[in-house]
Chain A
Amino acid sequence: MIRLLDVDRVFEVGEEPVYALKAVTLSMTAGTYASVMGPSGSGKSTLLNIIGLLDRPSRGKYLLEDVDTTHLSDDEQARVRREKIGFVFQFFHLVPRLTAAENIELPLILAGVNAGERKDRVREALTSLGIRGRSRHRPDQLSGGQRQRVAIARAVVMRPRIILADEPTGNLDRASGNEVIEILEELNRTGISLILVTHDPALGDRASRKIIMEDGEIVSDTLKN
């Protein structure tokens, strides 16, 4: 369902072109659980941003569910993002003034879902992530692990096909980090593709597919048994 064909992402820094991605070719089937590892600056986040349609390749093609996304307009890309992709970030990125429930509701509001259905789906997401009791809390009243659960609930409330998680445990202690990974893996078992960027080899090893990057290139791509 994800196919990158010879993708470059070049940044112009002064005179020098910086290759964040260099001739990346990659394909993934639906329901994949892949981890992306590599040193800092190797292009992991850039890869995730391109897959998530937050960024466009400088060269090459990106097909998502057999649709060439490189020709989509910004608005069409936004729509794909809204309907098919859920992001989970290292820094949670919750809106501080909104409660947990309101944060989870945001994608539904943007999609124009009506209020009654929103309420049901938010409750459902809160329940499945075990944070129903925290629905009226604002982010600063939640622990890191709880915040990341809210963020995951927000990522899945639109029932996306893919979850892109960029170092989701980077700001968590080991215990809550593990809980978050287990939640993500649980979601993956329901058929949602999961791409996980991490610096933690133990976490990276849990994925069924392990991609290692260096200097914008994929240097290793292995499947577990």
Chain B
Amino acid sequence: MKPEDTVRFGMRALFGYPARTLLVLLAMAMGVASVILLTALGEGARRYVAQEFTSLGTHLLFVLPGRSETVGGPPPLLASTPRDLTLEDAMALTRIPSVERVAPVSVGAAPVSWRERHREVTLLGSTAALFEIRQLAMSQGSFLPAGDPFRGEGIAVLGHKVKRELFGNRNALGEWIRIQDRRFRVIGVMTPKGQSLGMDMSDTAVIPVASALSLFDTESLFRIILQAKSRQTVDRVKDSVIKVIRERHEGEDDITVITQDAILSTFDRILSTMTLTVTGIAAVSLVVAGILIMNVMLISVSQRRTEIGLLKALGARSAQILRLFLTEASVLSMAGAGIGVAIGYAGAWVLAGMFPAFPLQVPLWSLAAAVLTALVNGLIFGVIPARRASYLDPVQALAKR
């Protein structure tokens, strides 16, 4: 029997029982489509995070007060702070050779008012370096000017949202606002740049770091952000930072330095695991589809007993019968996989249209894995029914029942 005839015979059999064929196709297609969609989502999430991190600026290091035992983990939330990280510490770091920029950061919330309008705003005390490091952009005026970081000038740069809520459509540039009991002059308004990893810049006001420290009445910085000259120098800079701070802190290692790469790879690991997990869950539906194929093929074998007996009477070998039913199961799962791939891609396309910011993409490995699983599935779950068919005794099968 020629292979093309085997396939044609299988196809005819599938078209001969449209209801069961559609049922199995649907199950297979859903399984494959969900594997493809879920991996696309997981992969998209990974890319999204990576993209966000680059938008944060490149080759950055974050220096946090307090020692964290885990290297490369997320910032310690409840670490004790034995010694403050001061503005002097930050300035000392600018002398490290491969450091491009240093932005000391102080964070706190304070009431901000303009005329009769009041609002609680997140204040970010920093220097001109923050502009480059966070890759900010101005819609009006200018950012904090470069200058002596220890001078606490009364100037402020407003986030887009803060400006809108305090001033509405009115001009804010040059206006005096009140933060707690001090007066600050608005020198710039930032563009509505999106949220970047939990920190919504449009909901903040940036003031000189010295002003912020005196406003909050503290010496201690929230963190220091460094930008290395290049990616290759990041690790060297990290070592230097630890050394410089140790010298300044009487030989104590009481800071944590996290590189952007380390954070990124942590997220990457988490999201990859997540993707694999949801893919695994989706793959279960493929197995379910496989079992369905097996059941449907078993029903088909018992429905077609006389047909099988007849084929044997016509001189079909057992191996031919086996091949016929296996082919049928494979054609079924292949067609199901094909439809599933189409549905998966269509779904990904629709989602991509709905959320343009989300870099949705079907990873090639998942496509290959889904289709391969579907095929192997069809074969494995097709074997039992096919064997049953090939073992059928033709005399029994053809006997009147």
Interface residues of A (CB under 8 A from B): 49, 52, 54-55, 74-75, 78-83, 85, 87, 89-91, 93, 95-98, 102, 106-107, 109-112, 114, 154, 158
B83 beta carbon closer than 8 Å to chain A: no
Q: Which residues of B contact A102 (CB under 8 A)?
A: 12
Given known contacts A97-B12, A97-B13, A98-B12, A54 and B314 CB-to-CB distance under 8 angstroms: no
Partner of A75, one of B1, B12, B16, B319: B319
Stretch at the interface among B264-272, B344-352, B393-401: B393-401
Q: Are A110 and B320 in contact (CB under 8 A)?
A: yes
Partner of A52, one of B17, B310, B313, B318: B313
Q: How far is the CA of A89 from the CA of B5 in the complex (A)?
A: 25
Given known contacts A90-B400, A97-B12, A79 and B307 CB-to-CB distance under 8 angstroms: no
Q: Which residues of A contact B307 (CB under 8 A)?
A: 93, 95
B215 beta carbon closer than 8 Å to chain A: no
Given A97-B13, A110-B320: 6 more A-B contacts, CB < 8 Å: A75-B318, A87-B313, A98-B12, A109-B9, A110-B314, A111-B1
Q: Are A49 and B314 in contact (CB under 8 A)?
A: no
Q: How far is the CA of A81 from the CA of B394 in the complex (A)?
A: 12
Chain B interface mostly helix, strand, loop or mixed?
helix
Q: Are A78 and B317 in contact (CB under 8 A)?
A: yes
Our count of residue pairs bridging A and B at CB distance below 8 angstroms stands at 74
B315 beta carbon closer than 8 Å to chain A: yes
The 9 A-B residue pairs whose C-beta atoms are closest, nearest first, are: A82-B315, A97-B16, A81-B315, A78-B317, A107-B314, A93-B310, A109-B5, A75-B317, A87-B313
Per-residue 0/1 for B296-329: is the Cβ within 8 Å of any A Cβ (1 yes, 0 no)? Answer: 0000000000110111111111111000000000
Q: Are B310 and A95 in contact (CB under 8 A)?
A: yes
Q: Which residues of B contact A107 (CB under 8 A)?
A: 314-315
Q: How far is the CA of A95 from the CA of B313 in the complex (A)?
A: 13
Q: How far is the CA of A158 from the CA of B398 in the complex (A)?
A: 21
Partner of A49, one of B16, B311, B395: B395
Q: How far is the CA of A95 from the CA of B400 in the complex (A)?
A: 16
Looking at B12, B309, B313, the one whose CB has the most chain A CB atoms below 10 A away is: B313
B2 beta carbon closer than 8 Å to chain A: yes
Q: Are A81 and B1 in contact (CB under 8 A)?
A: no
Min distance, Cβ A108 to any Cβ of chain B, angstroms: 9
Q: Are A114 and B2 in contact (CB under 8 A)?
A: yes
Partner of A81, one of B2, B313, B320: B313
Min distance, Cβ B318 to any Cβ of chain A, angstroms: 6
Q: How far is the CA of A217 from the CA of B15 in the complex (A)?
A: 47
Q: Which residues of B contact A81 (CB under 8 A)?
A: 312-315
Q: Are A83 and B315 in contact (CB under 8 A)?
A: yes
Partner of A74, one of B12, B311, B313, B318: B318
Per-residue 0/1 for B19-54: is the Cβ within 8 Å of any A Cβ (1 yes, 0 no)? Answer: 000000000000000000000000000000000000
Q: How far is the CA of A118 from the CA of B309 in the complex (A)?
A: 22
Closest to A98 in B: B12
Min distance, Cβ A168 to any Cβ of chain B, angstroms: 14
Closest to B310 in A: A93
Question: Could you list some 10 contacts between A and B, CB below 8 A?
Answer: A49-B395, A54-B313, A54-B398, A55-B395, A75-B319, A78-B317, A93-B309, A93-B310, A97-B13, A112-B2
Q: Which residues of B contact A74 (CB under 8 A)?
A: 317-318
